[in-house]
Amino acid sequence: MAWVDLCLTVVNDLTIESRQGRPVADDAGLGEAFADLAANVLTRRFELSSAHVDDLASVARRLHLAVEACIAGDLLTAAFALNTVLAEFGAVPNLHAAPGQAPHLAFHAADAPIVDAWAAESATALAFLVGTRQTHRLGQCSADACDAFYLDSTKNASRRFCSLACQNRAKSSAYRQKRRDQPR
């Protein structure tokens, strides 16, 4: 599920309006997306350039729509959005093999550029959730002023917040609300 996490990380960096109580600025989001891709073990061997910027943001918006459709239970829309991304970015099962290393199953060509690799792997990972009836594990943060998506890996699918920070914010705002409602 590492690719679902990386997909949601970049979608959150680039396509949502507020995160953890703060508005997300476009430029800052792009910087974060590149930092996240550069730091991730799945993608850090790729060269990142500013030429990829627009492509990355436009794929992220399409994957955002697919994630939203999954959460809304509209799997037909999700399937259509994912199929077009899979086809357009050349998603293909491929054994990345090198001498002295165990071959590794990927869903992008070994020489794919970073945006294509991220798009193909992200769409494949989401398609896997759709095809194996696991889309209930995708969620969107319930805290105020946060639109972040997350993958719920708890056993009973009980997660409601993107992060501990949002969970704590929601808890203290519920507490303040309770104090306000109490008669003095």
Binding site for Zn ion (CB under 5 A): 141, 143, 146, 148, 162, 166
Closest distance to Zn ion from the beta carbon of 148 (Å): 5
Closest distance to Zn ion from the beta carbon of 87 (Å): 33
Instruction: Measure the CA–CA gap between 40 and 75, rounded to whole angstroms.
Output: 29
Instruction: Measure the CA–CA gap between 107 and 42, rounded to whole angstroms.
Output: 12
Q: Which is nearer to Zn ion, 12 or 124 (CB)?
A: 12
Q: Which is nearer to Zn ion, 104 or 176 (CB)?
A: 176
Give the position of tokens 């705002």: 173
Distances in Å between the alpha carbon of 127 and those of 73, 75, 81, 171? 14, 10, 10, 34
Closest distance to Zn ion from the beta carbon of 52 (Å): 27
Sorted by sequence, the CB contacts under 8 Å of residue 106 that are 6+ apart come out as 93, 94, 95, 96, 117, 121
Q: Which is nearer to Zn ion, 46 or 149 (CB)?
A: 149
Q: Which is nearer to Zn ion, 77 or 160 (CB)?
A: 160
Is residue 48 within 8 A of residue 38, CB to CB? The reply is yes
Closest distance to Zn ion from the beta carbon of 114 (Å): 27
Closest distance to Zn ion from the beta carbon of 141 (Å): 3
* CA contacts within 13 A on the Cβ side of 64: 17
Q: Which is nearer to Zn ion, 84 or 153 (CB)?
A: 153
- Cα Rg of the chain, angstroms: 18
